[in-house]
């Protein structure tokens, strides 16, 4: 059984989608641990509900980001991860964290990257007059919301949309896209090689 560790900051609906996919689709992988950057992350309840071990690594005042990332890496490593998933994890990670988990660290972002990295993606997409929005799952590299794309899904931007209605439509797609992308990794169909996503040939 392979181990997935999920990092969250908020409500954890993508975490729930991953936990369900592991169970429903009989993956050779399970969520071995959930790590939040704050004890108030509502998604920790999802971990409790499914009896998944969890930990909180707070960025305490006075601690440098690098030191906090080192501690975070130590805690994540404690779950012996084969993959680490950033599912609504709202912190920027240090280069050494990213390098340490290179090739097994993925993120879901609520825009069609490389458009609208960072925050307020839905508002920015509406303001730009986009007629299409969506979500991206990608390998994490040192740039913010950069890194080779594993999968994307689109939704229409409808007349009258505001950031909230668009976010809800995108989130629904994230709940399908993220488990699908993770399934491709868990089943060994895709991997990161030389900075690109490559399909692993099936044995004949």
Binding site for ligand GRF (CB under 6 A): 8, 10-14, 43, 87-88, 108-110, 171, 174
Cis ω for the linkage preceding 65 (within 30 of 0): no
Q: Please choose, from the candidates 2, 42, 35, the residue with its C-alpha nearest in 3D space to the C-alpha of residue 182.
A: 2
Which residue, 130 or 171, has its beta carbon nearer to ligand GRF? 171
The Cα–Cα gap between 146 and 123 comes to 20
Give least dist CB 170 to ligand GRF, A.
Answer: 7
Least distance to ligand GRF, CB of residue 158, Å = 18
Q: Is 175 assigned a catalytic role?
A: no
Which residue minimizes CB distance to ligand GRF?
A: 88
Running DSSP on this structure, what letter comes out for residue 112?
A: -
* Nearest residue to 135 (alpha-carbon basis) of 115, 164, 162: 115
Cis peptide, bond prior to residue 114, ω within 30 of zero: yes
For residues 47 and 171, which CB has a smaller minimum distance to ligand GRF in the complex? 171
For ligand GRF, the closer of residues 12 and 33 by Cβ is: 12
Identified catalytic residue from 109, 138, 175, 187: 109
Q: Answer yes or no: are the C-beta atoms of 85 and 18 closer than 8 Å.
A: yes
Active site residues: 109
């Amino acid at each position: 059984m392979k181990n997935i560790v999920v990092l969250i900051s908020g409500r954890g609906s993508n975490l729930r989608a991953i936990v369900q996919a592991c169970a429903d689709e009989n993956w050779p992988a399970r969520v071995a641990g959930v790590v939040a950057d704050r004890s108030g992350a509502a998604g920790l309840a999802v971990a409790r509900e499914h009896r998944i071990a969890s930990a909180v690594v707070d960025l305490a005042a006075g601690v440098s980001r690098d030191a906090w990332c080192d501690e975070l890496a130590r805690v994540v490593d404690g779950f012996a991860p084969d993959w680490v998933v950033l599912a609504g994890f709202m912190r920027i990670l240090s280069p050494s964290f990213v390098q340490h988990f290179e090739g097994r660290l993925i993120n879901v972002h609520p825009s069609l990257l490389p458009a609208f990295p960072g925050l307020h993606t839905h508002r920015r997409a509406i303001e730009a007059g986009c007629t299409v929005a969506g979500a991206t799952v990608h390998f994490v590299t040192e740039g913010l919301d950069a890194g080779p794309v594993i999968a994307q899904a689109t939704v229409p931007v409808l007349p009258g949309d505001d950031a909230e209605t668009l976010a809800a439509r995108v989130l629904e797609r994230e709940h399908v896209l993220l488990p699908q992308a993770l399934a491709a990794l868990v089943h060994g169909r895709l991997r990161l090689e030389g900075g690109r996503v490559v399909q692993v040939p099936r044995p004949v």
